[in-house]
Structure 1
Amino acid sequence: MGKLGKLFYKMLSLLFGVLGGIVAGAVFKQVWKVVGREEDAPQATDEERTWREVLPAAALQGAIFAMVKAVVNRGGAAGFRRVTGTWPG
């Protein structure tokens, strides 16, 4: 893959990374409504919340973000290969 191809892939990766973050945030918000039975997840800096409330929310949020990131990265690489015939990396 040439320099232009690498640059193009990096630009697409950044764009899809931002979009993936937005999607992951929306997914987490909907999952939290069901799992946490409340509108918003507890914030780590909320003095009224306990560790037992904050840590599971953070773990769930991290897992969702990691999964969406993997889907976006893998899908982007596969799409790039379909278009260019070369796997980025």
Structure 2
Amino acid sequence: MSKGAKLAYRPIGLIGGILAGTLSGIVFKQLWKAIADEDDAPGALQSEYGTKEVLLAAALQGAIFAVTKAAIDRAGAQGFHKLTGSWPGD
């Protein structure tokens, strides 16, 4: 892929990352609320939660973010490919 095409894709990737962060945060908050019946997930520095709860929340949040980001990045790459004929990862 040419340097021009890579530069053209950069804003799409940036917007996709922001969208993934926002969307995954919403999904995680709703899922945690359903699982733990609490509005907020435990933070690493909150003493009222055990280590297992904190690590479970962090792992779940990370997994949701990774899947959401991959789905959004893939959709962005496919759209970019349809518009330009270049795949942004090549």
TM-score scaled by length of structure 1: 0.93
**In the aligned structure 1, how far is the partner of 2:54 from the partner of 2:3?**
44
**In the aligned structure 1, how far is the partner of 2:87 from the partner of 2:53?**
42
Q: Provide the identity percentage.
A: 53
Match of 1:30 in 2: 30
| Number of aligned residue pairs | 89
Match of 2:65 in 1: 65
Which consecutive unaligned segments of at least 5 residues does structure 2 have? none
Q: Read off the aligned partner of 1:3 and give its amino acid letter.
A: K
Q: Read off the aligned partner of 2:5 and give its amino acid letter.
A: G
**In the aligned structure 1, how far is the partner of 2:33 from the partner of 2:8?**
38
**SS of 1:57's equivalent?**
helix
1:18-42 superposed Cα distances (whole Å, 9 cap, x missing partner): 1110111111001111111111100
Q: Read off the aligned partner of 1:5 and give its amino acid letter.
A: A
Q: Which runs of 4+ in 1 moved over 4 A?
A: none
**In the aligned structure 2, how far is the partner of 1:16 from the partner of 1:70?**
10
2:21 pairs with 1:21? yes
Which consecutive unaligned segments of at least 5 residues does structure 1 have? none
Please provide the CA RMSD for this pair. 1.0
